[in-house]
Amino acid sequence: MNASSPNSSQPAKPSKPSQTIGVLAEDLVANWLIGQGWEVLQRRWHCRWGELDLVARGFVSASKDATPQPILAFIEVKARSRGNWDADGLLAITPKKQAKLWQAAQLFLAEQTELAELPCRFDVALVSYGRSPVPFPSELSPPLKYRQHQFLNSSMSLFLHLSN
């Protein structure tokens, strides 16, 4: 699905090494989500409020015996080198950033009316990498570590840690 409003645009190609790392981190998280059974609907969706790194649809159960229900996740991806002063990447998700993500998500749902009735959550994915200047997702097999974190109306956030 591609957003087609005048407010949205196709993602730009990265021009800086940090942007390249960010795109690779987003690709890594998207591939991980797909491996977990999620459908990635959008990558780097732009509007006047900013960018949604990933938008994905999955299924969650309230309990082991419950029927899985569809859910939409807006995923903010942060890539940080080990030893970075903001090693968790959470300091970058300020209340102002959260408000922009919320507004972007509202615009996304206004355009994608078939998704508007799904319950939504905001997740954060942290990709931490070592000294290598650029992590190559195809060469890495990251251990996953889940950690609960409230971000607006989120019920879960995931943190990926890469080693090389």
Q: Where are the domains of the chain?
A: 17-161
Mean pLDDT in residue range 77-89: 67
Task: Return contacts of 148-152, CB within 8 angstroms, 24+ apart.
Answer: 149/90, 149/124, 151/76, 151/93, 151/98, 151/122, 151/123, 151/124, 152/98, 152/101, 152/102, 152/122
CATH for the stretch 17-161: 3.40.1350.10
- Render pLDDT for 109-160 as a digit per residue (tens, 0 to 9): 999 999 999 988 888 888 877 665 454 554 444 433 333 334 544 433 334 3
Most confident of 72-81, 90-99, 100-109, 124-133: 100-109
Q: How far is residue 71's CA from residue 73's CA, in Å, rounded to a whole number?
A: 7
Full-model pTM: 0.73
- Render pLDDT for 26-77 as a digit per residue (tens, 0 to 9): 888 898 899 989 999 999 999 998 999 999 999 988 788 889 999 999 998 8
